[in-house]
Structure 1
Amino acid sequence: MRRFDIPISEDDMDATELEFETPALGDGFTFRVEIRCMPAVGGSRHHRGLWSDATEEKAQAQGLARQVVRDVCRRHSAFLPGEAEAESNQRISSVFASHSTLQGRWSVRVYVNLSEEAGNLQREAQIRKHQIISEAEEKALRLQKIQELKGISEGLLSSATDHWIARYAVRLAQHPDAAADVVAQLLDERQERAERLVKLVNEMVDVHQQAGIFDLVIASEGALRHALKQLGVDVPPLESDSIFADAEFFS
């Protein structure tokens, strides 16, 4: 009795899953493959007007899918299962679509995974790669911070050469609780510096006056007043009758 277009039900033809290992490129490693075959939605059990045997057809679909996957996997590296999986699904879709018996009757999906041995090697390689990247990033960060610290240090040392109080500023930054002692030491040193400078300039003035070098005396006086101002010492204004009052140096 001929029957036409009778839909396939999952009760008539259950989905089947295949799991097997197949050689990869070079035959040194294998892939772990899973193939899931399901009856196509809306498929028909009619073939040339006759009933087909469900068990025989299931075995036929399984064997065809397995052969296609095996052929494809032998062309791909055992460490690139994604490429083998993509081509396997593409090839199976094409083969089943053109097959005279299985056309439109089965939906097949292939999953290709690393074998246990290849997976272990892949994990070890990824760990080593991660270690290399981490160490490189750590060294790069260390060098970057050294460069930044170098710039900060250069700025600190440069300012220290321009300002005699720089060392007190550094000491105060390191020991903020000792602010009173740091300030006291600063004032004492400033007083000592001022006294030494005054003594030195006075000696120079005496020598210049004895030699009758008037311009050098004026310069020494101006240098003294300027130095005292830089030290933060209040300098009294020149008296109106001072011999330096009209000097161009103080204009």
Structure 2
Amino acid sequence: MRLLYRLLRKLPRRSGLGSAHPWKDGESGPITSVRRFFQPPPAPHAVYDEQGLHEWDSPLELVVPARGDAFSFQAVVTVAWCVTSGDGRTTTGLRADIAAERPKIHERAEEVVRRVARRFDPHLPGEAEEEVNKELTTEFARPSHQCDDVTITVTVKAQINLTEEVRELRKHLGRALLEIQAKREIDMAIMDNMTRSRDDWREFLKEGMEDWAARFAVQLAESPRGVAGVMTTMVEERRQDAQNFLDIVKQVVAAQQSVDVFDLVAASDGVLRIALERLGVPVPPPVADLPWLEER
């Protein structure tokens, strides 16, 4: 009574005399407040709607044989249940229906996984998993139970993995394949580098053949401090080449004494110019109008 009296004193009061009911309709009075405070929460609804009850089993871990039965796969199978009832059955009743079907469903799922996994080699879990799930989808496409206004549908999925024994073997094989691939990539890089170096050297030597000063330029590039010695050697070699060329010309002229000297010079003018230019000897431009040509 003291608690009720304290609650009455703390609640707001309306002013005015003769008000027999100080609380408006819908407002909580002290009695209703106490009742709401002490009453238990509403009980949960025990009947599911048309969507039914959904439940998931703990994953099933299986060891199933691979092709040849010498090695195995590790399989993890998950089973999801959906139970619908049209007669308003309780959760307990629906779960009892699932429990009655569970052993049969697990047995069918294991049989499918074992049968399909035997088609694949033990190092192909991805291909085996894809085919196993296709077969499971086909196997459980229809409701597993449908009577007495109760329909049970099952969704089964499987994950196929390598066993530890096969995984270790695949690690050794994978490491060996990686080493082979790495060696091939190194060889390809070396070949590519050699090809580019060969082409560069070919162009370099080709330019050197066309320019008589290229050899001396290379010497200076390797040792820039020996400029004076290189220049001296270059001049001496040019002089020696010019002298050798003149000796050859003298021999040709001596062998052709029966031929008119003017005709020999006129016919050999182009060849002599090219030879002298290759030797680095300055050559004057050709003259087309020579006075003795008119006399002839």
Q: TM-score, normalised by structure 2?
A: 0.60
Q: Aligned partners of 1:6, 1:101: CA distance in 2, in Å?
A: 16
Q: Aligned partners of 2:197, 2:78: CA distance in 1, in Å?
A: 61
Q: What secondary structure, in the 3-state scheme, does the structure 1 residue paired with 2:183 have? A: helix
- 1:20–1:32 CA contact under 8 A, matched in 2: yes
The residue that corresponds to 1:20 in the other structure is 62
- C-alpha change, 1:56 and 1:174, in structure 2 (3 Å) is farther
Aligned pair count reads 235
* 1:116 Cα deviation from its structure 2 partner: 1.0
Q: Aligned partners of 1:64, 1:46: CA distance in 2, in Å?
A: 27
The residue that corresponds to 2:124 in the other structure is 80
Q: Which has the higher contact order (CA 8 A, sep 6+)?
A: 1
In structure 1, give the amino acid aligned to 2:218. V
Greater C-alpha Rg? 2
Q: Choose from 158, 162, 166 the match for 1:110.
A: 158
- C-alpha change, 1:227 and 1:61, in structure 2 (3 Å) is same
Q: What secondary structure, in the 3-state scheme, does the structure 2 residue paired with 1:98 have? A: coil
The residue that corresponds to 1:7 in the other structure is 52
- 2:59–2:77 CA contact under 8 A, matched in 1: yes
- C-alpha change, 1:212 and 1:82, in structure 2 (3 Å) is closer
- 1:97–1:104 CA contact under 8 A, matched in 2: no
The residue that corresponds to 1:33 in the other structure is 75
Structure 1 position 44 matched with structure 2 position 90: no
Computed over aligned residues only, the root mean square deviation of the Cα atoms, in angstroms, reads 4.2
* 1:69 Cα deviation from its structure 2 partner: 0.9
Deviations along 1:108-144, one digit per CA (max 9) or x if unpaired, are: 2110011111112222222222333333343344334
The residue that corresponds to 1:219 in the other structure is 265
In structure 2, give the amino acid aligned to 1:108. V
The residue that corresponds to 1:89 in the other structure is 133
- 1:16–1:38 CA contact under 8 A, matched in 2: no
Structure 1 position 189 matched with structure 2 position 234: no
Deviations along 1:128-184, one digit per CA (max 9) or x if unpaired, are: 223333333433443344344444444444454444333224334444565665455
- C-alpha change, 1:247 and 1:146, in structure 2 (3 Å) is farther
Deviations along 1:31-80, one digit per CA (max 9) or x if unpaired, are: 0111122234xx42579x89351434344433322222112112221111
- C-alpha change, 1:64 and 1:4, in structure 2 (3 Å) is farther
Q: Aligned partners of 1:61, 1:82: CA distance in 2, in Å?
A: 24
Alignment of 1:222-241 (within 5 A): 222=269, 227-235=275-283
- C-alpha change, 1:5 and 1:183, in structure 2 (3 Å) is same
In structure 1, give the amino acid aligned to 2:107. G
Structure 1 position 65 matched with structure 2 position 113: no
**Unpaired segments of 5 or more residues in structure 1?**
none
Q: Aligned partners of 1:26, 1:5: CA distance in 2, in Å?
A: 47
In structure 2, give the amino acid aligned to 1:35. V
Alignment of 1:125-164 (within 5 A): 125-164=173-212
Q: TM-score, normalised by structure 1?
A: 0.69
Deviations along 1:76-124, one digit per CA (max 9) or x if unpaired, are: 2111112221122122222222353287533221100111111122222
- 2:144–2:153 CA contact under 8 A, matched in 1: no
- 2:129–2:159 CA contact under 8 A, matched in 1: yes
- 1:172–1:182 CA contact under 8 A, matched in 2: yes
Deviates more, 1:138-147 or 1:215-224: 215-224
- 2:75–2:161 CA contact under 8 A, matched in 1: yes
Q: What secondary structure, in the 3-state scheme, does the structure 1 residue paired with 2:84 have? A: coil
